[in-house]
Amino acid sequence: RLSNNLTTALNEQMTKEAHASQIYLSYAAWADNNGFSGIANFLFRHAAEERNHMMKILEYILNRGAKATVTAIPAPATDPVSVNNCFEKVFEHEVDNTKSIYKVVKMALDEEDWATWNFLQWFVKEQIEEENLASILLDKIKIVGGEKANGDALYLLDKDLEKRSGEV
């Protein structure tokens, strides 16, 4: 059975994944409103991924016979001010989330709860991919000029992301 501490930590992480989903959803809506339908699609797909992460944790808590507490989800951060800023926010968010997952991993290690430790390794691996993808996006926008990227460059970047898989 999960300890009280790990139950609390996993419930909090579950809400964080739901929050991440809301963040991506809000950025996707922002991108679509600003005419970047490719970026919007990419972010919509990613919002769905984050919801899956939330479900994964919810199911794990239930499978271990602990109480899953579904709470209110904090409001997403403010809208990005530019595509460059959008990708910066995505990258920062993923780095923060990695830190948050590592804290729960450390707790599982300290408690010698190897089932939870093992479960969390999926998230550890996932975060490598997510941070990597966010940093690739950030590099791309920097290459085309960052905040100063012109309309042609943003148009091509938007097209590129239309095709890119949301599986990150």
Q: How far is the CB of 94 from ligand OFO (least distance, A)?
A: 5
- DSSP string of the chain? ---HHHHHHHHHHHHHHHHHHHHHHHHHHHHHHTT-HHHHHHHHHHHHHHHHHHHHHHHHHHHTTPPP---PPPPPPPPPSSHHHHHHHHHHHHHHHHHHHHHHHHHHHHHT-HHHHHHHHHHHHHHHHHHHHHHHHHHHHHHTTGGG--HHHHHHHHHHHHHS-S--
123 lies in the binding site for ligand OFO (CB under 6 A): yes
Question: Considering only residues 6, 18, 20, 157, which one is a binding residue for ligand OFO as defined by CB under 6 A?
Answer: 20
Q: What burial class does residue 162 get, using C-beta atoms within 10 Å of its C-beta: 0-12 exposed, 13-18 middle, 19+ buried? A: middle
Is 17 near ligand OFO (CB under 6 A)? yes
Does 158 engage in binding with ligand OFO (CB under 6 A)?
A: no
- When the beta carbons of 88 and 126 are compared against ligand OFO, the nearer one is 126
Q: Would you say 93 is a known binding-site residue?
A: no
Does 138 sit near ligand OFO (CB under 6 A)?
no
The residue sitting closest to ligand OFO, measured at its beta carbon, is: 53
Query: What are 58's two structure tokens?
Result: 């919810």
- Interacting positions 87-116 with ligand OFO (CB under 6 A): 94, 97
Work out how close the CB of 151 gets to ligand OFO at its nearest, in angstroms, rounded to a whole number: 29
Stretch that binds ligand OFO, among 1-9, 58-66, 107-115, 123-131 (CB under 6 A): 123-131
The nearest distance, CB 81 to ligand OFO, in angstroms, is 22
Known binding residues for Fe cation are 17, 50, 53, 94, 127
